[in-house]
Amino acid sequence: MIEAQPTTNITPDTLVPETQKMKANGYRLVQMCASRLPEGLEVNYTFDKDCAFANLRILIAAESPSLPSVSGVYWAALLYENEMHDLYGIQFPGLVLDFKGNFYKVAKKHAFNEAASCTAPAKS
Amino acid sequence: MANRTIIPFGPQHPVLPEPIHLDLVVEDERVIEAIPSIGFIHRGLEKLVEKKDFIDFTYVAERICGICSFIHGQTYCQGIEEIMQLQVPDRAKALRTIWGEMSRLHSHLLWLGLMADAFGFESLFMHCWRLRETLLDEIEATTGGRVIFGSCKVGGTRRDVTDAKLAEIVRILDGMEQEIRDITGVFMSDSTVKHRMRGVGIITKEEAQALGAVGPTLRASGVAQDMRTLGYAFFNKINFKTITRTEGDCQARCEVRIDELFASIDIIRQVVAQMPGGAVDVEVKGNPNGEFFSRVEQPRGEVVYYIKANGTKNLQRFRARTPTFANLAPLVKMLQGCDLADVPVMALTIDPCISCTER
């Protein structure tokens, strides 16, 4: 094993406080990503401090998914949240800069999550 | 109050031939705000795991980027190997380290050339790329490819390199070292070059950490963080020092990359000196079941592959967070308050690779 990768399961209610704790403890936001699983959408928030890995994980419903934005805590999260919105259809209330579905110019909206509304762009 | 104007920068720009767009909100010649847009060529490669089996997907991972192609393949293979608990032979790990550092060398030389070109120093640009060409020749001699090496596979490497050839590479690098020192001396000491970079685009240590910067962008702000210290591949047997600067400006980011050139040459020397014998691959049986965040230091910084497998031949999830994606937020921050004329140079100092970012 190259490194230990501890993961903590949390809920949407505790997401922002847990993220604030990570920032207060000096952790760098490494990445955020969603995964489509049979039981719903799994979202990982990965952090690093002096090459020590930490991960927060949330499981949410795949239909009309929504999570509080952590872009108020880590500003860079806005890029990951816009990405997850465009590919998975997750809504992030409180997003500091919302590209409103135009972060990725993809032919098919929410292509990674068929349970979210999947609509093709109108032909010009 | 001066009038505000929005100046579009990219996705096609003479200085930055990468499909990234910035809306630069300017007052007179000063940038007040920069709003980034990417996604013009998003390829959706992550979704291909649903079609390609986990062995074949190595080819896709290698094609995420044309500069650090090999390290993408290595990061992917390493993730699968961790999940399957494969014992990769030491010789394969050593070869991966050598090819990875050769990738870093040619990437940094490419960047130095582009940087010289950005501030109009054509002869310097040509010298950087001339040296890079020598490296590409050696990469071609050992892998058969100059862009896509095709040499990494799950369980090891596809090909071996003779000890005689490895010794020849070290001799060539010995010869290159002085030439690199001569050329990079211009970046380190020339007053016109420093005038464009010293004190420009400053990111403090606290900002770099808070904004999630990686690689030379992070280390130039005084944060000693390099994923190679995790000890993956052959790095647990190598002595090397994480290179940092404290100024956090464009010059510091340039100097970190220059010092990393010499560090990479030294790493290759150390690996060749300890080159283990034996096989370069192990047999792979079954399918992966589990998950792993594979983190590797690319020339532009930490790349993260999240791999989740459920025991079938197709992965459940593959996610690549590339270093340029992580460095977009620091770029936006450093552009705030800069002179409009400095935007191309500042954008280049994160060494943007939108091909990676649009995986």
Average pLDDT, rounded, for chain B = 92
Residues 6+ apart with CB under 8 A from B349: B115, B197, B201, B217, B250, B253, B254
Cis peptide preceding B36, ω within 30 of 0:
no
Alpha helix locations (H) across B160-311? 163-189, 191-197, 205-210, 215-219, 250-273
Give the pLDDT confidence score for residue B1 in this predicted structure: 61
Residue numbers in A near B316 (CB within 8 A): 35, 37
**Min Cα separation A111/chain B (Å):** 9
Note the pLDDT tens digit of each residue in B220-275: 999 999 999 999 999 999 999 999 999 999 999 999 999 999 999 999 999 999 99
pTM: 0.93
Superfamily, domain A7-88: NADH:ubiquinone oxidoreductase Nqo5 subunit (3.30.460.80)
- Mutation pick from B33, B209, B350 vs chain A, by most beta carbons of A within 10 Å, is B209
| CA-based nearest residue in chain A for residue B308 | A35
Which secondary-structure segment (H or E) carries B27? strand B21-27
**d(C-alpha A120, C-alpha A51), whole Å:** 42
Contact A104 B42 (CB under 8 A): yes
- Among the listed residues A58, A120, A115, the one whose alpha carbon sits nearest the alpha carbon of residue A92: A58
Complex prediction ipTM: 0.90
Total Cβ atoms within 10 A of residue A66:
12
A84-100 pLDDT, tens digit each: 999 999 999 999 888 88
Q: What is the pLDDT of residues B101-122, one digit of tens each?
A: 999 999 999 999 999 988 888 9
Cα distance from N-terminal residue to C-terminal residue, chain B: 42
Q: How far apart are CA A32 and CA B248, in angstroms?
A: 26
3-class SS of residue A101: coil
Q: Work out the widest C-alpha separation in chain B, in whole angstroms.
A: 71
- How far apart (Å, rounded) are the C-alpha atoms in residues B10 and B228? 33
Band (pLDDT 50/70/90 cuts) for residue B147 is confident
- Contact flag A75-B46 (C-beta cutoff 8 Å): no
Long-range Cβ pairs for the range B5-9 (8 Å, 24+): B7/B340, B9/B343, B9/B347
Q: What is residue A123's predicted lDDT score, i.e. its pLDDT?
A: 47
For residue B322, what is the nearest residue in chain A, using CA coordinates? Answer: A31
Domain boundaries, chain A: 7-88
Task: Indicate yes or no: CB of A86 within 8 angstroms of CB of B39.
Answer: yes
B308 touches chain A (CB under 8 A): yes
A1 contacts in B (CB within 8 Å)? 82
**pLDDT interval class at B358 (50, 70, 90):** confident
Q: Could you tell me the CA-to-CA distances from B132 to B9, B106, B129, B333 in Å, in that order?
A: 29, 5, 5, 31
Going by C-beta distance under 8 Å and a sequence separation of 6 or more, which residues neighbour residue A73? A16, A19, A20, A23
- What homologous superfamily is domain B41-357 in, according to CATH? Cytochrome-c3 Hydrogenase, chain B (1.10.645.10)
Domain boundaries defined on chain B: 41-357
